[in-house]
Structure 1
Amino acid sequence: MTTPAHTTVGIVGGGPAGLLLARQLHLAGIDCVVLEARDRTYVEHRQRAGILEQGTVDALRACGAADRLDREGLIHDGIELRWNRRSHRIDFPALTGGRRVWVYAQTEVVKDLIALQLTDGPPLLFEAEVTAVTGAETDRPVIHYTHEGIRRTLTCDYVVGCDGFHGVVRSAIPATELRTAERTYPYSWFGILANVPPSCDELIYAHSPRGFALHSMRTPTVSRLYLQVPNGTDPDSWSDTQIWDELQSRFAIDSDWKLTPGPITQRAVLPMRSFVTEPMRYGRVLLAGDAAHIVPPTGAKGLNLAAADVIVLARAFADWTATGTTAGLDAYSGTCLKRVWRAEHFSWFMTTTLHTTPDQSAFDTHLQLSQLDRIASSPHAAAELAENYAGLPVG
């Protein structure tokens, strides 16, 4: 592959945000280059989110990346909440005018987009480590990177940082121009993959005196489950029996429902944080996805927020190349941040309603249970949860 020296849009990061943006730009006739620091195997097996909102699915379909999703993705029309040994189902289509969500792992989204990119798309360079981005305030920002042992530069009309929270593109924006807001949480998620069919048809979110638990799935034969644990927990300190017993305890309701255990194939502890940086644009450098914002996973918003960012961005680039107007690019940060802050609030709400803290008082617990009772008894409260979970309009 000939390594280009210039492109219209330089995209740093080959995760779902960068790849979806590249696909949308390609279909709009806008040239771009994607630089990804890791190798293809790592990127395709990087475990992350598994819930896709309606808007994300619509975008994947529009760019021809949903054939396998439509065959293999699991359509979910709701979630189940559990607390005080009772359960309540939230019916998404009934409460949102027909919207729903899909269970389809980020690894599979990335595989589908990479296959398209390599077959019919602009350059995608793996193991291209970006070291700096300079000239953000000029009309020709430069990406400095190393690929195949050679130091290279790529001049761009615009640079988009899709390189995650620890990426380098955000550092191209002067610190004096950035405002950040952050919240950390006093607990983590202990996540497991298990080769056992799910014990439920839809996701179960459980509030328990012992802590939060989530039952999800990857496929009809692979379950994905999570336990709230203290920060710093060693995943190897739990035996398989302890994990399944604790999950069963936290999911317990007054019925004959039972959790089916199975062989655990992966385990990891995931810390939780909320983070937003503003603005999402400075000069000719723009941020998308985790480079600009992080949400705790309780609301299933991470991948979907990233997709929403690049949908807005692709439209803005299309308008710019077609008409010369930068109105969409100028409005990009403000447009996206409205949705970002709504998703941050929803993710915080789901997290603080369903998790318990080490020093939690009886008063705090009663507030949580009262909120869950309200959702179960009020169509308005249930609709607010359903609309946010299934996904608010993009742009």
Structure 2
Amino acid sequence: MKTRETTRLSRTQVAIIGAGPAGLLLQQLLHVAGVESVVLEQRSRAYVESRIRAGVLEQGAVDLLDRIGVNARMRREGLVHDGFSLVADDDRFRVNLRDLTGGMNVMVYGQTEMTKDLIEAAELRGTPVIFEAEGVALHGVDGDRPFVTWRKDGQEGRLVCDFIAGCDGFHGVSRQSIPQRDLTTYERVYPFGWLGILADVPPCDHELIYANHERGFALASMRSETRSRYYLQAPMDVKLSDWPDERIWDELAVRLGPAAAANMRRGSSIEKSVAGLRSFVAEPMRWHRLFLAGDAAHIVPPTGAKGLNLAASDVHFLSEALLAYYGSGSTSALDAYSGRALKRIWKAERFSWWFTGLTHRFPDTDAFSRRMQIAELDYIKESRAAQVTIAENYVGLPLS
């Protein structure tokens, strides 16, 4: 990717740490409004563009991509989903998102593809993204003239800015730059993971299937009409070598139920992995001139497909606050950013935590707890009011 020489990038309005969807989306939201920014990313472009991540976009995230004009391929290749299915020991029913929410839906479009689109937009629009920026460090955040330093190709870079947006993920430098005494964290680590398999085969259904089986959770999803993504609940210490492709397909067929199994196309995996599940929130999301967004501030279990979408809502709120500052000089919107973002984050955390508890088997899931899960799923099946609650959360709460 062509960028200006780092020596010419000595000053910008907003320094953005991290070239994931949050950082890249924030850059384009600012760019279309005339605010300058530079993105710094420690990884290579090839690495960033190859990361396998989420694939369900809420309506709000789709609207943001439409607004900045980075939507052509998504609109062409993305799959609009009007519902999804829940399975409880082979008893399957559908949640009709469009009907239950007054016409809203979700878009299945891989985070990998969204990232590629945003990087291409940055290249075409000349918004600087510096990949392979090593040793990124934040300085003077609690003063009036913060700056960022890094190394690339043996040369030192230094960027003075008005504000820093920390969009560099859970393990990034941004949150670590805030003194522990000024940060409160909340966390729950789940006692299992997701064993995932990606294969170039058509999906077993045109919509996602979430299954609660006595042997554990399973999910049937997709990245396109010819590429499928499946998950199995598994112990965190599971060894991939113990799970050849055929064993995974056999287990999926059992947990997803006979209807899905009958339509399942098997094929060689092109990627397998085990991902841990956690709920995590850091408060506040602002420390002087540093603002956290996305995984730098919060993590959700993937069950509710909220991680990427929360990152999108964070940068929506942050971009509005920054634009208000540059438009009027007022800091009121910046002061309100953390509280505004956290209000939506905690609701998404609640939904993801609840949905995970509903669909997974925990170490302490005894016969009574199992019956309670089945009873709740049966209630959801028969109650339109319960389905409305699920649908409203699944398509995404308003960006307000």
> Normalized against structure 2, the TM-score is what?
0.97
Aligned position for 1:268: 273
* Equivalent residue letter for 1:131: V
1:343 and 2:348 are equivalent in the alignment: yes
3-state SS, counterpart of residue 53 of structure 2: coil
Aligned position for 2:139: 134
Name the CA distance, whole Å, in 2 between partners of 1:150 and 1:266. Answer: 36
3-state SS, counterpart of residue 212 of structure 1: strand
Q: Give the one of 282, 303, 309 matched to 1:304.
A: 309
Name the CA distance, whole Å, in 2 between partners of 1:214 and 1:85. Answer: 13
Q: Give the one of 1, 5, 12 matched to 1:2.
A: 5
Aligned position for 2:29: 24
Aligned position for 2:217: 212
* Equivalent residue letter for 1:356: R
Q: How many residues align?
A: 395
1:96 and 2:94 are equivalent in the alignment: no
* Equivalent residue letter for 1:290: D
Name the CA distance, whole Å, in 1 between partners of 2:142 and 2:38. Answer: 20
Name the CA distance, whole Å, in 1 between partners of 2:126 and 2:41. Answer: 15
Aligned position for 1:393: 398
3-state SS, counterpart of residue 341 of structure 2: helix
Unaligned runs of 5+ residues in structure 1 are none
| Between 202-211 and 79-88, the greater mean CA deviation after superposition | 79-88
Unaligned runs of 5+ residues in structure 2 are none
3-state SS, counterpart of residue 216 of structure 2: coil
Runs of 4+ in structure 1 off by over 2 angstroms are 253-260
* Equivalent residue letter for 1:128: A
3-state SS, counterpart of residue 154 of structure 1: strand
Q: Give the one of 26, 34, 40 matched to 2:45.
A: 40
Q: Give the one of 366, 370, 374 matched to 2:379.
A: 374
Q: Give the one of 333, 340, 364 matched to 2:338.
A: 333
User: Residues 124-170 of structure 1: CA distance to partner in whole angstroms, max 9, x if unpaired?
Assistant: 10101243212121111121211222222211100000000000011
Name the CA distance, whole Å, in 1 between partners of 2:339 and 2:209. Answer: 34
Aligned position for 2:228: 223
1:149 and 2:154 are equivalent in the alignment: yes
1:374 positional shift:
1.4
Name the CA distance, whole Å, in 2 between partners of 1:162 and 1:386. Answer: 28
Determine if contact 1:142/1:153 at 8 Å carries over to the other structure. Answer: yes
Name the CA distance, whole Å, in 2 between partners of 1:33 and 1:286. Answer: 15
Name the CA distance, whole Å, in 2 between partners of 1:275 and 1:150. Answer: 36
Taking only aligned residues, the RMSD between alpha carbons, in angstroms, comes to: 1.2
Determine if contact 1:18/1:34 at 8 Å carries over to the other structure. Answer: yes
Determine if contact 2:204/2:261 at 8 Å carries over to the other structure. Answer: no
| Between 257-266 and 384-393, the greater mean CA deviation after superposition | 257-266
Identity of aligned residues (%): 51
Determine if contact 2:143/2:288 at 8 Å carries over to the other structure. Answer: yes
Name the CA distance, whole Å, in 2 between partners of 1:171 and 1:187. Answer: 27
3-state SS, counterpart of residue 219 of structure 1: coil
* Equivalent residue letter for 1:158: F
* Equivalent residue letter for 1:370: A
Q: Give the one of 225, 239, 247 matched to 2:244.
A: 239
Determine if contact 2:253/2:261 at 8 Å carries over to the other structure. Answer: no
> Normalized against structure 1, the TM-score is what?
0.98
Distance 1:352 1:143, change over 3 A: same
